[in-house]
Amino acid sequence: MAKQVNRAARTVRTLLFVAVFLLAAFALAALLLLHDNISQRKQEARQHYFKVVALDEQTLDPAVWGRNFPLQYDSYRRTVDTERTLHGGSEAFGKLEADPRWVTLFKGYAFGVDYREERGHAYMLSDQITTRRVTEFAQVGACLHCHAAVLPAYQKVGREAGIPDEKRPEQIMKGFEIVCGMPYHQSRQLVSHPITCLDCHDPETTQLRATRPAFLNGIKALAASDYPLQQYPSIERWRQSRQGDYDVNALASRQEMRTFVCAQCHVEYYFKGKQKILTYPWHNGLEVQHSEAYYDAADFKDWIHTISKAPLVKPQHPEFELYSQGIHSRSGVSCADCHMPYQRVGAVKVSDHHVRSPLLNVARACQTCHPDSQNQLLAHAQRIQDKTASLMSRTQDAVLALIDDIAAAEKAAFPQHNLAAARDFHRKAFWRLDYISAENSMGFHADQEAARILAEAIDYARQGQEVLRPDAPAATAHAP
């Protein structure tokens, strides 16, 4: 009996020893792991930049930059990702198929044939080659300004035109002017990469810089105007003396550059004159009517609408312009603050180079400043966009009604002056409608401004219908 008790006790004791042994081993292992973790976090805090390869103005391939800046490169590579938002995103869905009213609104123009939502930065060059606007219509080298890593090409062409390497800015400008006028497929041979690091960063210092010639010309002209620009303090400061030209790379603050590097391309533009020089119409100011006045003065049209015979101008993604009218711009928030928000990788603060809709990244894009839940913030943004979309839909109908009326009036041999006046109203109304449609925020960049522009478009369409009423007074030779 006693022996049996002893044996049971011994078994329990052995099990206890094993348990204590395992517990102690586990505790030690956990402690070591914790120590390791703390050590790793401390290492993170000491992380800095390692220069692995030398970079210069000829380093076009982002993968080479990526060896020095692996964190930025990782996120840059994600611009291949395709994701829809409520009204946009980065999937190349057909806008004409989504809303066939645009086919009539663009009648006679390349955009009436093929018009898709833009994909991410990574696709800017390859998508340009496949669009029917390029395969079926003659385009020019000016397009490459914003669809390729084009600087070395401009330099090369400028050098061949006789501008020496010592005058680099002049060399690039000359190359730009020559490439603009080339047939697209010839100019395409000069470039190989979509957007690259060089386009926004100095290879020596990685500091932000503006390199695009059309932007350098555009911002110079904008600064030289009297249009108030409190949201860009370096321009206002330069205006106090107006000495020389406004040099964006020398004068703009880092925060302003976080907008200006994007404004190199996300703007309204046209190809000026026979040389097809890419030009940003900012000479009178940044608002919709300022660019319109510039085009009217230059007597510029993109095409003549097949049905109404009106000479129309197609706006192109005026993101910088519309955003500059909005509350975020007025509050000193840059493009990069929302579209490339800071992210923490270890202890390092990195700009997210996966440039995309903030609606896909609400936490980092919005919550850094707005203390509300992600759902609330997303709903707020989408409410603005939904309202803009519904107002835009009414504007489309209003412009279509005007087109119908012009066609009917022409058939009824209506007085020419009235027809001309109605066509001018079509030009004004379409310019405003497509200004908001082509702009890539569905009104969010400046909601009230977007509503103003669409309301004006509806009003111009109405005025155009007025001059075509049977009892309308005869219009004068010059339309209002």
Q: Which residues bind other proteins (CB under 8 A)?
A: 17, 20-21, 24, 27-28, 31-32, 34-35, 37-39, 41, 44-45, 343-344, 346-347, 349, 363-364, 367-368, 371
Shorter beta-carbon distance to other proteins: residue 126 or 368: 368
- Nearest distance from C-beta of residue 341 to other proteins, angstroms: 9
Shorter beta-carbon distance to other proteins: residue 32 or 297: 32
- Nearest distance from C-beta of residue 323 to other proteins, angstroms: 20
Shorter beta-carbon distance to other proteins: residue 9 or 129: 9
- Nearest distance from C-beta of residue 371 to other proteins, angstroms: 7
- Nearest distance from C-beta of residue 32 to other proteins, angstroms: 7
- What is d(CA 162, CA 160) in angstroms, rounded to the nearest whole number? 5
Shorter beta-carbon distance to other proteins: residue 8 or 32: 32
Give 77's contacts (C-beta < 8 A, 6+ positions apart): 66, 122
- Nearest distance from C-beta of residue 51 to other proteins, angstroms: 23
Shorter beta-carbon distance to other proteins: residue 63 or 363: 363
- Contact call for residues 181 and 276 (beta carbons, < 8 A): yes
Shorter beta-carbon distance to other proteins: residue 108 or 233: 233
- Nearest distance from C-beta of residue 369 to other proteins, angstroms: 8
- Nearest distance from C-beta of residue 334 to other proteins, angstroms: 14
- What is d(CA 227, CA 445) in angstroms, rounded to the nearest whole number? 19
Shorter beta-carbon distance to other proteins: residue 44 or 397: 44
- Nearest distance from C-beta of residue 361 to other proteins, angstroms: 11
Shorter beta-carbon distance to other proteins: residue 378 or 398: 378
**HEC profile of the chain:** CHHHHHHHHHHHHHHHHHHHHHHHHHHHHHHHHHHHHHHHHHHHHCCCCCCCCCCCCCCCCHHHHHHHCHHHHHHHHHHHCCCECCCCECCCCEHHHHCCHHHHHCCCCHHHCCCECCCCHHHHHHHHHHCHHHHCCCCEHHHHHHCCCCHHHHHHHHHHCCCCCCCHHHHHHHHHHHHHHCEHHHHHCCCCCCCCHHHCECCCCCCECCCCHHHHHHHHHHHHCCCCCCCCHHHHHHHCCCCCCCCHHHHCCHHHHHHHHHHCCCCCCEEECCCCEEECCCCCCCCHHHHHHHHHHCCCCCEECCCCCCEECCCCCCHHHHHCCCHHHHCCCCHHHHHCCEEEECCEEEECCCCCCHHHCHHHHCCCCCCCCHHHHHHHHHHHHHHHHHHHHHHHHHHHHHHHHHHHHHHCCCCHHHHHHHHHHHHHHHHHHHHHHHCCCCCHHHHHHHHHHHHHHHHHHHHHHHCCCCCCCCCCCCCC
Shorter beta-carbon distance to other proteins: residue 31 or 379: 31
The CB density around residue 125, as the number of other CB atoms within 10 Å, is 19
- What is d(CA 135, CA 144) in angstroms, rounded to the nearest whole number? 15
- What is d(CA 352, CA 346) in angstroms, rounded to the nearest whole number? 14
- What is d(CA 270, CA 280) in angstroms, rounded to the nearest whole number? 7
Shorter beta-carbon distance to other proteins: residue 19 or 129: 19
Shorter beta-carbon distance to other proteins: residue 12 or 34: 34
Shorter beta-carbon distance to other proteins: residue 38 or 98: 38
- Nearest distance from C-beta of residue 25 to other proteins, angstroms: 8
- Nearest distance from C-beta of residue 423 to other proteins, angstroms: 50
- Nearest distance from C-beta of residue 17 to other proteins, angstroms: 6
- Nearest distance from C-beta of residue 380 to other proteins, angstroms: 16
